[in-house]
């Protein structure tokens, strides 16, 4: 158990539908981190970009990208998370994968598939929320469009960190900023968002705005729009405990179940 969690947010451009080049790119980004970190966070569909060509790019859980994540986690003694296209039982998933240094894997399948571009027609929606217990921290990983649905993210599990990985386009980036901050405040947790930059294969543009917010909604990062950058942030348990104990807002939350 640790009282602090050092995380690395990697905001990057992605090579369209080219897992090999993206793995090489992130290998370099990870190698450039000289300080010790506990968790490295990559964007949504970090190996391909946000593609609907699942049949062309999907991998299995024993495929090259998951194997790369395991190897990098072991080499750096750091957990790594991000989402990629996975095929399993003849279905495609936008799957967020969390690999710890021992090689243990936890997975979350994106629940809210993005109907505006037909993601729901290609990818099977997930049904289970995931809480990862890592170094004494309770982490809830979610994916992109999930951010617009606060009920799904509601902190009924007393998690410490809420993570969103995304390919969130520039025209709606103000919503990204506002909703990340809101999720931190309403759930009294750190909220982390890692978005990509650049232009993808269908000409969607991305300006990044990756960020970390504390439980009061204070932004702890300094990414510039559009830049490729890795930023390290130290999360502190005492910050969470101080304001949860003082304000007790989570004690007044509504009880509910999701059908």
The beta strand positions in the chain, using DSSP E, are: 4-11, 39-41, 79-88, 91-99, 105-109, 132-134, 137-143, 161-166, 190-195, 197-199, 205-207, 211-213, 229-236
Whether residue 110 lies in the annotated active site: yes
* Residue whose C-alpha is closest to residue 14's, from 27, 5, 23, 3: 23
Whether residue 129 lies in the annotated active site: no
Q: Which of 25, 70, 106, 110 is catalytic?
A: 110
Contact between 42 and 26 under an 8 Å Cβ cutoff? The reply is yes
Q: Which of 106, 144, 186, 191 is catalytic?
A: 144
Q: Which of 17, 44, 119, 186 is catalytic?
A: 44
Structure tokens at 192: 């982390």
Structure tokens at 59: 């991998």
Whether residue 144 lies in the annotated active site: yes
Which are the catalytic amino acids? 44, 110, 144
């Amino acid at each position: 158990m640790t009282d602090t969690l050092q995380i690395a947010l990697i905001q990057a451009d992605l090579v369209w539908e080219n897992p090999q080049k993206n793995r090489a790119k992130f290998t370099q980004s990870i190698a450039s981190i000289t300080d010790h970190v506990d968790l490295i966070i990559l964007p949504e569909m970090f190996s391909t970009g946000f593609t609907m060509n699942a049949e062309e790019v999907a991998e299995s859980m024993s495929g090259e990208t998951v194997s790369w994540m395991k190897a990098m986690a072991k080499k750096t003694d750091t957990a790594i998370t991000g989402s990629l296209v996975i095929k399993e039982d003849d279905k495609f998933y936008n799957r967020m994968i969390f690999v710890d240094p021992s090689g243990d894997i936890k997975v979350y399948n994106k629940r809210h598939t993005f109907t505006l571009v037909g993601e729901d027609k290609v990818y099977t929606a997930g049904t289970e929320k995931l809480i990862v217990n890592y170094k004494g921290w309770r982490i809830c990983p979610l994916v992109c469009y999930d951010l617009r649905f606060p009920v799904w993210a509601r902190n009924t599990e007393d998690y410490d960190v809420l993570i969103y990985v995304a390919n969130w386009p520039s025209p709606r980036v103000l919503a990204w900023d506002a909703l990340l901050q809101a999720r931190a405040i309403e759930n009294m947790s750190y909220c982390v968002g890692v978005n990509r930059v650049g232009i993808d294969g269908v000409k969607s543009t991305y300006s990044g705005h990756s960020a970390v917010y504390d439980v009061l909604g204070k932004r702890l990062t300094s990414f510039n729009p559009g830049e490729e950058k890795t930023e390290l942030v130290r999360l502190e348990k005492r910050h969470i405990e101080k304001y949860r104990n003082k304000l007790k807002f989570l004690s007044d939350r509504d009880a509910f179940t999701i059908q």
